[in-house]
């Protein structure tokens, strides 16, 4: 994380501490009010059909959040893919491919037949990660979600999942899932740029289901609207994997001096989870979300890896490291979801499948 990013996070979450910072925060607050009004007007225009909303030929599920930063969307999307495949559905994920350098408006990362175009530099880390985890799913990246869903339909998809689609109102969806972080569900309650909210809290009225991530069984949250609520927490997978595909158990890390690094929204959570697993962390390297591992990033890792025997990172970071020159062996571990009660999600998916069958019957 850069010094500027650290300063910004401190400013919005802890508040200004000097006269200059107060002046800056005042300016940000004025812009924030204007931006919030603009987002309200935009949502109103789509809700009242002043702006056109496209209706896809297949059911669409949107997974998104209300704040900037990580709420754990990728594990939730992965869970939905697995559930859909288990139900016999040909499912597609449509992503913006954040961080990818492709030039085409649309691209196919996986066609659902087991082949994955493994190029995270072109398509972004998250689409490639989801394709690797689920090679039987269609994974598409598209600048415009409508084009992505249309491409998924041509590839035979029966269901489309929009990754990070809550603010994408130009495409209708049949199930709108909103993720909130149990620690800071609404950030500092301010809209960008004076806060971390992408739009005002009233946007919750658009969602069908709320998933509270990083929660405990009894985590409480006051929602401004009544919606079904699920609670889940993220846990590290039971196995690790080296970059060359060798499976490791946690017991194999005992007694080894390790360096952990991560380029995700909240690396500190990942490092804390490793320590709870008993990993002997001799160093921690924080990178920005969607970090590209070029020469400068690799130089940082080489410098930090003093007297360490093993490096540990996230599965999301690992997709960009298979050709990297690292000083010591590196392994990665995935995140999995642990739900406390899936009933609201089960009901919503059953209803969606029923709708799909009714459409087919017509």
Query: DSSP letters of 53-101?
Result: -BPPSS-EEEEEESBSS-S-HHHHHHHHHHHHHHTT--EEEEE--TT--
Q: What is the CATH number of the domain that holds 216?
A: 3.40.50
Residue with tokens 């919030």: 36
The reply to whether 229 and 263 lie within a common domain is no
In a domain, 266, yes or no: yes
pLDDT digits (tens, 9 = 90+) for 179-216: 999 988 999 999 999 999 999 999 999 999 999 999 98
Decide: helix, strand or coil at residue 306.
Answer: coil
Q: How confident is the model at residue 361 (pLDDT cuts 50, 70, 90)?
A: very low
The reply to whether 216 and 243 lie within a common domain is no
The reply to whether 74 and 190 lie within a common domain is yes
In a domain, 18, yes or no: no
| Whole-number Å distance between alpha carbons of 289 and 283 | 19
Q: With contact defined as beta carbons under 8 Å apart, do 345 and 231 qualify?
A: no
In a domain, 33, yes or no: no
In a domain, 188, yes or no: yes
The pLDDT > 70 percentage for the chain reads 97
| Whole-number Å distance between alpha carbons of 273 and 313 | 12
Q: Which two tokens stand for residue 136?
A: 């039987």
In a domain, 21, yes or no: no
pLDDT of amino acid 352 = 84
Q: Residue 356 pLDDT more than 70?
A: no
Query: DSSP letters of 203-263?
Result: GGGG-SEEEEES--TT-----SS---EEEEEEEE-SEEEETTS-EEEGGGGTT--EEEEE-
pLDDT digits (tens, 9 = 90+) for 72-127: 899 999 999 999 999 999 999 999 998 888 889 999 999 999 999 999 999 999 99
In a domain, 263, yes or no: yes
The reply to whether 324 and 357 lie within a common domain is no
Cα of first residue to Cα of last residue in the chain, in angstroms, is: 53
Q: Which two tokens stand for residue 158?
A: 């029966």
| Whole-number Å distance between alpha carbons of 167 and 11 | 25
Q: Residue 1 pLDDT more than 80?
A: no
Beta bridge partners of 234: 337
| Whole-number Å distance between alpha carbons of 354 and 202 | 29
In a domain, 135, yes or no: no
The reply to whether 298 and 326 lie within a common domain is yes
Task: Give me the number of domains the chain comprises.
Answer: 2
Q: With contact defined as beta carbons under 8 Å apart, do 54 and 145 qualify?
A: no
Range of the domain at 260: 238-333
The reply to whether 255 and 219 lie within a common domain is no
Q: Residue 360 pLDDT more than 50?
A: no
In a domain, 252, yes or no: yes
pLDDT of amino acid 44 = 97
Q: Which two tokens stand for residue 234?
A: 């993220």
Shortest CA distance to 343 belongs to which of 228, 227, 224, 195?
228
Residue with tokens 């946690």: 250
Q: What is the DSSP letter of 133?
A: H
| Whole-number Å distance between alpha carbons of 81 and 74 | 10
pLDDT digits (tens, 9 = 90+) for 216-261: 878 888 888 899 999 999 999 999 999 999 999 999 999 999 999 9
The reply to whether 223 and 266 lie within a common domain is no
pLDDT of amino acid 320 = 95
From the number of C-beta atoms within 10 Å of its C-beta (0-12, 13-18, 19+), residue 262 rates as: buried
Q: How confident is the model at residue 266 (pLDDT cuts 50, 70, 90)?
A: confident
Beta bridge partners of 157: none
| Whole-number Å distance between alpha carbons of 2 and 10 | 12
| Helix %, strand %, coil % of the chain (to 5) | 35, 25, 40
Rounded to 5 degrees, what angle do the CA atoms 353, 59, 223 make?
85
């Amino acid at each position: 994380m850069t010094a500027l990013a650290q300063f910004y996070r401190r400013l919005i979450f802890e508040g200004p501490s000097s006269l200059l910072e107060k002046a800056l925060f005042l300016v940000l607050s004025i812009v924030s009010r204007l931006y919030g009004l603009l987002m309200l007007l935009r949502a109103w225009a789509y809700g009242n059909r002043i702006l056109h909303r496209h209706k896809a030929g297949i059911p669409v599920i949107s997974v998104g959040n209300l704040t900037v930063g990580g709420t754990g969307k990728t594990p939730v999307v992965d869970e939905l893919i697995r559930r859909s495949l288990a139900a016999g559905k040909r499912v597609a994920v449509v992503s913006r491919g954040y961080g990818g350098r492709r030039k085409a408006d649309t691209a196919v990362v996986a066609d659902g037949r087991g082949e994955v175009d493994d190029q995270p530099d072109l398509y972004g880390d998250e689409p490639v990660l989801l394709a690797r985890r689920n090679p039987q799913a269609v994974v598409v990246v598209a600048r415009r979600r409508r084009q992505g869903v249309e491409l998924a339909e041509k590839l035979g998809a029966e269901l489309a999942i929009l990754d990070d689609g809550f603010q994408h109102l130009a495409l209708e969806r049949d199930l709108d899932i909103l993720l909130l972080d149990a620690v800071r569900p609404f950030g500092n309650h301010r809209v960008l740029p004076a806060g971390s909210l992408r739009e005002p809290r009233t946007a919750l009225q658009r969602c069908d289901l709320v998933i509270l991530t990083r929660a405990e069984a009894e985590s409480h949250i006051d929602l401004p609207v009544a919606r079904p609520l699920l609670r889940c927490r993220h846990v590290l997978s039971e196995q690790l994997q080296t970059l060359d595909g060798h499976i490791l158990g946690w017991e194999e890390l005992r007694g080894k001096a390790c360096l952990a690094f991560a380029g995700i929204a909240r690396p500190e959570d990942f490092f804390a989870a490793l320590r709870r697993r008993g990993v002997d962390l001799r160093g921690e390297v924080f990178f920005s979300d969607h970090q590209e591992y070029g020469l400068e990033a690799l130089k940082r890792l080489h410098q930090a890896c003093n007297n360490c025997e093993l490096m540990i990172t996230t599965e999301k970071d690992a997709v960009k490291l298979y050709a990297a020159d690292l000083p010591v062996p590196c392994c990665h571990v995935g995140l999995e979801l642990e739900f406390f009660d899936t009933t609201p999600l089960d009901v919503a998916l059953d209803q969606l499948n029923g709708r799909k069958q009714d459409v087919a019957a017509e």
